[in-house]
Copies of this chain bind each other. A is one copy, B any other.
Amino acid sequence: MISVSIVNVTSYTGLELLRLLAQHPHFILTSVTARSAVGKRLDEVFPQLTSRPNVGDKEHISLDPGLVITEESARTDLAFVCLPHAAAARSVLTLLERGTRVVDLSADFRLHDAALYEEWYKHVHPAPALLETAVYGVCERYRERIEGATLVANPGCFATAAILGLAPALAAGIIAPDVIIDAKSGVSGAGRSPTPGTHYAEVNEDVSAYSLAGHRHLPEITQELEAAALAGGHPVNRSLPLRITFIPHLIPMTRGILATCYAELNQDKRGSAFTTAEVRSLYAEYYANEPFIHVVDQPPHTKWTYASNACFIYPMVDTRTRRLLVISCLDNLVKGAAGQAIQNANRLYGLPETSGLPAVAVFP
């Protein structure tokens, strides 16, 4: 068994890690921290964890709901860091120094460029030296580098949906490097702190756009889509750089992100337009061996991903306008956060990526 800790377990991503680790066959949770709840048992903070050990069922390692929350994490093989940015980097530094491998769910190690980080997060990067070490944690793109890494930067939820949705098209060079990503998100993405913007009576029966001046997932989307284009042999360049408009919307549901992506199709080698069938088989091939990515032939629903690590992708050609449309959806707390973190941890230890991750969504 590999011992793991969760740093800042009282966040929604920390809580989701608890749920997923409760049924993981190889990881055992031995330490949890949270500054606001030091000294409390897990089931005091999260009464839904109240449960008895699975007496007599030796096949499953269960979560211990009596685990006491501490201020500093105990020594474990692996740590999941669920702190806000900046605080996360400081924690990661300490953990790595003592030899703990880390999956960091914050934004601190996602961008390779410390200057870009400073521009978007408005403070100097606390550990720029680690930016080279950190691997951007999309297994579908970087599984070789994740295996054996010491630090994995778990991607943003919107970024995951957008990257998985657009990487195949940019890698294949079938679209112009100019995309619009219109994303719809459930409210849990805003975290566990109550605010006017997450107050039930105001969010219910409402939809609105936000972060119109620029959402912080934009630079990581740009970085990774450029990398995908380069990897596919269709690099973007200075004269025609990648140009992305990304607008998130808050919709009245708890979980789920659906990204609707729009781009101009290039012509194929014979100068004619790509068809939906061609695009779909290109996508299907790109994700042929992926256990969690499902290229489908009908518009997907976020509900198909609820509480699972699945991502559904639907590419099609709008024949009227010759635009490529890609709809990509996932559960922001699973494939968009805690599930992807466990997928990364599995890969990091050479375990099957699917270990401990639910294959089937909760529906309805």
Contact = CB atoms under 8 A, between A and B. Distances in A.
Interface residues of A, number: 99
Max chain B Cβ within 10 angstroms of own Cβ: one of A22, A325, A359: A359
A362 B307 contact: yes
B304 A48 contact: yes
Interface string A317-336: 01011010101010000000
A269 interface: no
A285 to B, nearest CB: 14
Number of this chain's copies in the assembly equals 4
A142 interface: no
Contacts of A289: 55
A294 B51 contact: yes
Interface in A244-290: 244-245, 247, 249, 251-256, 258, 260, 262, 289-290
Nearest to A298: B47
Given A50-B294, A55-B352, A200 B182 contact: no
B255 A205 contact: yes
B207 A253 contact: yes
Contact of A300 (B182, B208, B254, B362): B208
A305 interface: yes
A296 to B, nearest CB: 6
B59 A25 contact: yes
22 contacts: A47-B298, A47-B301, A48-B301, A51-B360, A52-B291, A54-B359, A60-B354, A182-B260, A184-B184, A194-B195, A198-B199, A200-B252, A204-B205, A204-B253, A205-B255, A205-B303, A206-B301, A209-B258, A214-B320, A243-B320, A249-B260, A252-B253
Given A56-B354, A207-B329, 18 more contacts: A19-B362, A22-B358, A48-B304, A48-B363, A55-B354, A60-B359, A186-B201, A186-B205, A187-B200, A200-B204, A201-B254, A205-B205, A206-B256, A206-B301, A208-B258, A209-B260, A214-B320, A255-B364
